[in-house]
């Protein structure tokens, strides 16, 4: 092809075939960008019916954890698990990649900690943890946030009490919201949000784990799914299917009726179901949906 116009596709983006559009979708890194792409028009929206769609979306959401192990004395990794060595010394393992955008969740479980102090937290991406040191050592105290198994929250060399203690087999989550103003990190134990959190976190962070004589298994390391929660709610009353202690109800599809005027911003696959629910229950509210100016 000698002329650039020979590369043009009839109908621009909308003239591309389904497989090419799926390939474009697979290259998107953030869920919110994927959501905007799906909202361009009905043709792209219908990609959700393709067998490959769910796998592509899962690849966008999931993040592959990479343990930064500096010396073999710290331990070793097996797939998504970090196994601490038998050395009786502090151990802090940072995780790649660096997080700088979106809402990201890390959920782990500590095993075989034998009552030793374990922790999960975040650090400025510039932090480097020396072998045998705690995360706040070497002037890292102003660059790290740690939630320890004794229930304390460590930040700026202060220890705030009030969060739940945890031990082996508890599911511990840290969720960073890089979209919030100010940016923040919130912690959960077995799905229950903890009262102490930290705002004004750095613009680029890494998660870290401190398993003392224990095995740490990241269960989920993902870009958090979009749902109403304490950190992104737009109304004082909100619904969430998760174990959020602040929600008014769990399943909005079951209890929309007689609940006043609702603010509804459903995921794209749920739009038709929500509209039908509104019609059935004669519910009043505001429904936020994409505007398709060009129908295909």
Asked if residue 291 is part of any domain, the answer here is no
Handedness of CA 55, 58, 64, 65 (dihedral sign): negative
pTM listed for this prediction? 0.63
Measured between alpha carbons, how far is 184 from 291 in angstroms, rounded to an integer? 32
15 and 147, same domain (yes or no): no
The whole-number pLDDT of residue 260 equals 62
- CA-only gyration radius of the chain, Å: 23
53 and 98, same domain (yes or no): no
The whole-number pLDDT of residue 157 equals 67
72 and 194, same domain (yes or no): yes
87 and 104, same domain (yes or no): yes
Judge whether 185 and 58 are in contact, CB under 8 Å.
Answer: no
In angstroms, the Cα distances linking 77 to 98, 129, 217 are: 19, 17, 10
85 and 54, same domain (yes or no): no
- b/e string for 77-102 if b means 16 or more Cβ within 10 A? eeeebbbbeeeeebbbbbbeeebeeb
Asked if residue 273 is part of any domain, the answer here is no
6 and 55, same domain (yes or no): yes
With a CB cutoff of 8 Å and minimum separation 6, the contacts of 293 are none
With a CB cutoff of 8 Å and minimum separation 6, the contacts of 12 are none
Give the count of beta carbons closer than 10 Å to the beta carbon of residue 217: 18
Using CB atoms within 10 Å of the CB of residue 8, give its burial: 0 to 12 exposed, 13 to 18 middle, 19+ buried.
Answer: exposed
* CATH number of 137's domain: 2.60.120.920
Judge whether 233 and 177 are in contact, CB under 8 Å.
Answer: no
Measured in Å, how far apart are the chain's first and last C-alpha atoms?
A: 30
Residue 278 phi/psi, 5-degree rounding, is -60, -45
Asked if residue 250 is part of any domain, the answer here is no
From the list 279, 191, 285, 277, the residue with the least C-alpha distance to 240 is 191
With a CB cutoff of 8 Å and minimum separation 6, the contacts of 136 are 144, 146, 154, 157
The whole-number pLDDT of residue 287 equals 77
Give the count of beta carbons closer than 10 Å to the beta carbon of residue 152: 18
Residue 24 belongs to what H/E stretch? helix 18-26
175 and 100, same domain (yes or no): yes
52 and 123, same domain (yes or no): no
Asked if residue 32 is part of any domain, the answer here is yes
Among 61, 82, 101, where does a domain finish?
Answer: 61
Among 210, 228, 246, where does a domain finish?
Answer: 228
pLDDT tens, residue order, the chain (296 aa): 445 444 445 555 666 788 888 888 888 877 767 777 877 777 887 888 888 887 887 777 777 788 898 888 888 887 777 877 765 677 888 999 899 988 888 888 877 666 667 899 999 999 999 888 888 888 888 899 999 999 999 987 678 899 999 877 788 889 998 888 899 999 989 878 899 999 999 999 999 988 765 556 565 555 554 444 544 555 666 665 444 556 666 556 555 555 566 777 665 556 777 787 777 776 677 777 665 544 33
Measured between alpha carbons, how far is 92 from 146 in angstroms, rounded to an integer? 11
Measured between alpha carbons, how far is 225 from 105 in angstroms, rounded to an integer? 9
47 and 84, same domain (yes or no): no
Asked if residue 114 is part of any domain, the answer here is yes
Asked if residue 170 is part of any domain, the answer here is yes
Q: How many domains does the chain have?
A: 2
Asked if residue 265 is part of any domain, the answer here is no
Q: Which two tokens stand for residue 114?
A: 């034998």
217 and 72, same domain (yes or no): yes
48 and 105, same domain (yes or no): no
25 and 152, same domain (yes or no): no
**Can you give the residue range of the structural domain that contains 136?**
67-228
């Amino acid at each position: 092809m000698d002329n650039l116009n020979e590369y043009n596709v009839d109908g621009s983006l909308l003239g591309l075939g389904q497989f090419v559009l799926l390939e474009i979708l697979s290259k998107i890194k953030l869920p919110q960008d994927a959501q905007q792409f799906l909202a361009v028009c009905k043709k792209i929206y219908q990609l959700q019916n393709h067998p490959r769609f769910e796998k592509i979306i899962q690849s966008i959401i999931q993040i592959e954890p990479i343990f930064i192990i500096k010396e073999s004395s710290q331990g070793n990794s097996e797939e998504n698990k970090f196994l601490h060595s038998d050395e009786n010394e502090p151990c802090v393992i940072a995780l790649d990649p660096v997080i700088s955008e979106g809402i990201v969740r890390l959920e782990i479980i500590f095993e075989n900690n034998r009552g030793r102090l374990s922790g999960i937290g975040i650090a400025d991406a510039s932090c480097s943890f020396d072998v045998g040191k705690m995360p706040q050592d070497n002037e890292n105290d102003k660059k790290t946030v740690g939630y320890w198994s004794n229930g304390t929250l460590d930040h700026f060399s202060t220890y705030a009490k009030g969060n739940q203690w945890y031990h082996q087999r508890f599911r511990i989550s840290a969720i960073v919201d890089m979209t919030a103003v100010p940016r923040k990190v919130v912690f959960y134990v077995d799905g229950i949000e903890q009262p102490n959190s930290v705002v004004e976190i750095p613009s680029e962070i890494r998660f870290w784990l401190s398993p003392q004589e224990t095995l740490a298994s990241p269960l989920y390391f993902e870009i958090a799914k979009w749902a109403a929660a304490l950190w992104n709610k737009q109304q004082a009353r909100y619904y969430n299917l998760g174990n959020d202690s602040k929600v008014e109800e769990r399943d909005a599809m079951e209890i929309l009726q007689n609940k006043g005027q609702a603010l509804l911003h459903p995921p794209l696959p749920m739009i038709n179901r929500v509209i039908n629910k509104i019609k059935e229950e004669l519910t009043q509210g505001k429904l936020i949906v994409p505007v398709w100016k060009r129908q295909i």
